[in-house]
Amino acid sequence: MAVSVDEAASTDPVRDHTPPARRLRGRGRGRSVLEVALLTVLAVVMLFPVLWMIETSIKENRDVYAVPAKFFDFKVTMGHFKDVFVAPGGGRSALSVAFLNSVVVAGVSTALATVLGVPAAWAYSRFAVKAKKDQLFFILSTRFMPPVVVVIPIFLMYRQVGLIDTKLGLILIYAAFNVPFTIWMMKGFVDEVPAEYEDAAMLDGYTRLQAFRRFTLPLLLPGIAATAVFALIFSWNEFVFAIFLTSSDSVRTAPPAIAGLIGGTTVDWGLVAAASVVFALPVLVFAYLVRKHLVAGVTLGAVRR
């Protein structure tokens, strides 16, 4: 999946062949110096917490609390990373269970949203549906409300049907949030694939669904991959529903589990930092893989209609 995304992105015909350095020089030296200075300041401000997190995760505890703070001369340890996965007495730690839960919940909810959303997007793109615009707006409107607003009603509903503190409950709510997103984003991608492929295939002896599967679907794969990654990142990062709807260690996902590490009498900052690094890594990797679609996906929606 990841490979095909990268390939599709690199075949982008629009290329700027001017080297960036020359473009900068063309605008005058004074301005470029100012630009670089401002960008550097911005980068330091933005990246410092990340760097500090990574440093903290490999520092020993007494270096973490050292005053003045030690930037470079500390002893490197991998102990915190071991603590993330292994419980103090041996066996699996609660955090590692939470990570596994996150993988399951994010993976299954994304798969569900994709399986439901892609055919829906195809239908909205291809067929004359009654009140199509209103339907699409209604679908989008379910994303208007922030999760905090709906979490209480959802909580009450879930308690009635017994979905409180279950992975299935989280999977369903994340899928519900991702389906509108998938439909809207995929509709843009489906619109780009000419309907004539399917018409031609139907004349060649395929049914509508076969035509979709054999001709349109392969052309949609890069778009599906990008959309799925967005959905995955949303489910992976989601905090509000996770903390309200789950409580037991065996069900909890990583975000509330990591947050739960803070708040005791002493906080093991090394462990918090190491868990955060482990948590951030998959998102960074996926975001890097779909970086071009990230821009394309966002601007696509902005330009059309």
Interface residues with other proteins (CB under 8 A)? 128-132, 194, 196-197, 199-200, 202-207, 215, 218-219
* C-beta of 22 vs 305, nearer to other proteins: 305
Taking the least distance from each CB to other proteins, the nearer of 162 and 194 is: 194
> Nearer Cβ to other proteins, position 215 or 269?
215
Nearer to other proteins, 73 or 204 (CB): 204
The least distance separating other proteins from the CB of residue 10, rounded to whole angstroms, comes to 15
Residue 134 Cβ vs other proteins, minimum distance, rounded to whole Å: 11
- Tokens 């959309």 locate to 227
**Radius of gyration of the chain from its Cα atoms, rounded to whole angstroms:** 24
Q: Shortest approach of other proteins to residue 110 CB, angstroms?
A: 27
Q: Which of 100, 94, 178 lies closest to 139, judged by CA?
A: 178
Beta bridge partners of 59: 76
CA angle 192, 198, 200 (to 5 degrees): 120
Cis peptide before 68 (omega within 30 of 0): yes
Measured from the CB of residue 224, what is the shortest distance to other proteins in angstroms?
Answer: 16
Q: Reduced to 3 DSSP states, what percent helix, strand and coil does the chain have, rounded to the nearest 5?
A: 75, 0, 25
CA distances from 111 to 135, 222, 287 (A): 23, 15, 18
Least Cβ distance, residue 208 to other proteins (angstroms): 9
Nearer to other proteins, 108 or 193 (CB): 193
